A and B are shown apart, each in its own frame.
Chain A
Amino acid sequence: MENFFARYKNPLVLMAVLFIQVVALATQVKRSENSKAASSGGTRLIRVWTVTAFTPIEKMFVSTGHFFSNSWHNYADLRGVRQQNRQLQDEVARLQMEQVRLKQDADQARRLQALMDFKEKFVSKTVAAQVIGTSGTEQSKVITIDKGKRDGLKPDMAVITPNGIVGKIKEVYPLSSQVLLVNDHESGAGVILESSRLQGILKGTSLGELQISDVMSDEKVEAGEHVITSGGDRIFPKGLSVGTVSNAVADRDNDPFLVIKIKPAADLNRLEEVLVITETAEAQRAASSASPVRAADILSQRLPSIPKQDANAPKIPGATATPTPAGPAAGSDKTKKPAVPDAGQKKAVSDAGQKKEGAGTTAAVKTPSAEAGGVKAPVPAGKTAAGGSVNSASPKTGADTKKPTSLGTAQPAAAGAGESPTPTPTSKPKATPPKKPKAPAKTPDASPGSTDNTNAGQQETVPAPGATPAATPSANQEKPPR
């Protein structure tokens, strides 16, 4: 060491002298730009030099530390990243596939929802089917669906979509069917223009277009008019959407007629799901109308009515349709004669009688029709003084129901004869004698014989004495017939 200083004495002394002077220089000089910012007169140059001298060293240490730290975190500590990346890629692929599947499901759900809404609206029974094939040629417009004979499909069944008609079943196989589209040149359907009510036959062309022919050229057809099915072809139910009129021009080949081009409502080139109408709403109604329910029947069921006597009730010889207690009061003006306004009510009475079988109270009020039948003989005398036509008084109960009677003229025509009507044998069993004493109270002059001529002259038809007192207005009241 001593040799070192002796050998390099001059350079060392030079460095020492220079260092001292540099330090002295640094202690005096201040950064002019820093002096503006620093209130204390700026940063000493020695501080700047020191910081400047040590900053590279500090940077070197920091950079070295960062290098090792980054090397660890970015390389050495990434052991599971590759596997995790593979898992994430698999997850992404799976989610993408699931997203596609969900989208398809959602689209299909929307289409099926539309189909269901449409089904509830128009048709009674349908079979949903998917299009699984086409004819493959431009000449024939035929598609294949995945439902066949096993699903109840039959030829000539209508095939529709929520937008409009599609075609009809052409061929039916056990598991599939062929559908002839409406735009096929062999297809046809009865249609009607919705606003102008013009009817025509919808046919397909060889170009796959829809047109209506056989419409007179003097008819006014406007583009955009909606076309619906007319139901006349017995294939498509009435009212289904067919399309809109695109244009209407004169038929060159058939001069006095028009050729109306139709834009189909259903996209016949992009069919995916269709509905096959296996049963229309009209057919269902026709089937249910075998036993129609009339409004009068419903009304009679809800209003107080005369229960019909039980047909199976045992026949009692002494029992008459006209309760005996009614006789004394027959001549009273206060008698209220029941009236049977129409046959419907009469039927209701019959129905009611079946429901209230065995009721003792029915004896006095029962079987007005039977009474009417029983008074067939006195009917001629029952012609009213006013000269009103007297009902034919057919023995059949339905005879007097064909003509409605005035509610205000409830006097039986036979009453004027003063004869005791002879009830038909069939009416006897309907009367239930056990409750006879009460019956007159309810129907004082239920018997036709109890009526007087005055009242009899007001009636127009043979009354139905079986009507309840409440339902029979006063004999003196005269109301215009309704």
Chain B
Amino acid sequence: MNAGVSLTSREEIEVHRFSWPASIGIPLLAVFLQVFLRIGLLNFLDLPLLVTIFFAVARRRPVPGMITGALIGTLQDAWTGHPIGLFGIAKTIVGYLGSSIGVKLDVDNPGSRFLMTFAFVLIHKFIYMVIDLQLVGGSEAWNWGHTLFSALANGLAAVVLFAVLDRLKQRN
């Protein structure tokens, strides 16, 4: 890694590993809960996105991060009835950006996690809207209030969720 441009210490840029069950079970659980669990609050939360951000930032490697995002997004598309690739492309880009940013920023701080998640939610929403409107031909309108509230809720949820998921990290 290029430590010259990094804002983190050597310890902070340590790459974490996850067990295979955790690497597969957590995303599946998140998508399952997002798709099949009918809770009003989940309308504003995007659990697959939070899981994607967490794994990308924790692994700090773009390729595994984008693949994780692609898989979670494709699975979400498949289960939600959306065209395959709609969520996949958005989460692929978010995974890539998260793994890239995780190298340079301290992503273990709750504040940075909140802001990072807040920003990624907006980016994810923006990419989703672009693909839906321009490529798929959807007609979903951009709602700033819903988007910002969703970003805020996901940021807060990320602080809590990431703290829980930190326990699944395996140190080298």
User: Is the Cβ of A25 less than 8 Å from the Cβ of B84?
Assistant: yes
- Segment touching B, from A26-34, A74-82, A150-158: A26-34
A26 proximity list for chain B (CB < 8 A): 135
Q: What separation, in Å, do the CA atoms of A434 and B74 have in the docked complex? A: 156
Which chain A residue shows the least CB distance to B86? A25
Residue in A9, A13, A25, A31 whose beta carbon sits within 8 Å of that of B85 in the complex:
A25
A17 touches B137 (CB 8 A): no
A10 lies within 8 A of chain B by Cβ: yes
A21 and B74 within 8 A (CB):
yes
A28 & B83 in contact (Cβ 8 Å cutoff)? yes
Contacts of A13 in B (CB 8 A): 62-63, 66
- Which of A22, A45, A49 touches B89 (beta carbons < 8 Å)? A22
* Cβ-closest 3 pairs across A and B: A25-B85, A21-B85, A10-B62
Is the beta-carbon distance between A25 and B66 smaller than 8 angstroms?
A: no
Interface size class of B (residues with CB under 8 A): 20 to 34
Q: Do A10 and B96 touch (CB < 8 A)? A: yes
Q: Are B63 and A25 in contact (CB under 8 A)?
A: no
Report the minimum CB–CB distance from A252 to chain B (whole Å).
101
Supplied contacts A18-B89, A22-B135, A31-B137, 5 more A-B pairs, CB within 8 Å: A17-B67, A24-B88, A25-B85, A45-B135, A49-B135
Q: Is the CB of B92 within 8 A of A17?
A: yes
Q: Which residues of B contact A (CB under 8 A)?
A: 62-63, 66-67, 70, 74, 83-86, 88-89, 92-93, 96, 100, 131, 135-137
Contacting residues, chain B, for A17 (C-beta < 8 A): 66-67, 70, 92
Number of A interface residues at 8 Å Cβ cutoff, please give it. 17
Whether the pair A14, B92 counts as a contact (CB closer than 8 A) is: yes
Chain B residues positioned under 8 Å from A28 (CB to CB): 83-85
Shortest C-beta distance, B61 to chain A (Å), equals: 8
Binding site for B on A (CB under 8 A): 9-10, 13-14, 17-18, 21-22, 24-26, 28-29, 31-32, 45, 49
Given A13-B62, A13-B63, A14-B66, the answer on whether A21 and B137 have CB atoms closer than 8 Å is: no
Given A28-B84, A29-B135, A29-B137, A21 and B92 touching (CB < 8 A)? Answer: yes
Q: Which residue of B lies closest to A21 (CB)?
A: B85
Contacts of B62 in A (CB 8 A): 10, 13-14
Identify 21 residue pairs between A and B in the complex whose beta-carbon atoms are under 8 Å apart, listed by A's number.
A9-B63, A13-B66, A14-B62, A14-B96, A17-B66, A17-B70, A18-B93, A21-B85, A21-B89, A22-B135, A24-B84, A24-B88, A25-B84, A25-B89, A25-B135, A25-B136, A28-B85, A29-B135, A29-B137, A32-B137, A45-B137
When the two chains form their complex, are residues B63 and A21 in contact, meaning their CB atoms are under 8 A apart? no
The residue in A18, A25, A28 that gathers the most chain B C-beta atoms within 10 A of its C-beta is A25
State in angstroms the CA–CA spacing of A49 and B135 once bound together: 8
The distance from the CB of B129 to the nearest CB of chain A, in whole angstroms, is 15
| Structural contact, B137 and A10, CB atoms closer than 8 A | no
